[in-house]
Structure 1
Amino acid sequence: MTEAVLESVLTCPHCGRREQEIMPTDACQFYYECKGCSVVLRPKAGDCCVFCSYGTVKCPPIQGERPCCG
């Protein structure tokens, strides 16, 4: 098994701002405040965290095909 990628670029669906972030390995991130427009992002239906919904890389548990915090 390969090691999980911990960096992901989140893209705000409201203003389009892209921000590179480090994903937590010990918890899901349910909320993220956009640094451009201050909108608070939440996971889309069926996703466990904001990285799975708006990131370029899914969260570490999903990358490893393990159950997530959801």
Structure 2
Amino acid sequence: METRVRSLVKAVIWNIIGLASMALVGFLATGSVAIGGAIALINTAIGFTMYLIYERVWSRIRWGRRHV
């Protein structure tokens, strides 16, 4: 089973990547750094929460795992 710390670190790193890409997309779509940044922050907060929940749920599912 995956530890909570590992799930958290994976979620943080993934969301840093997502934040940077979403900020760029938001800026290109709106032409505003402030609006693009706000879009990116909101998206990252939602995505971070959902990813953590997703990882924790899957860490408890045994299907598809090999037992060593």
Whether TM exceeds 0.5 here: the answer is: no
Which protein is bigger by CA-based radius of gyration?
2
Superposition TM-score, scaled by structure 1 size = 0.31
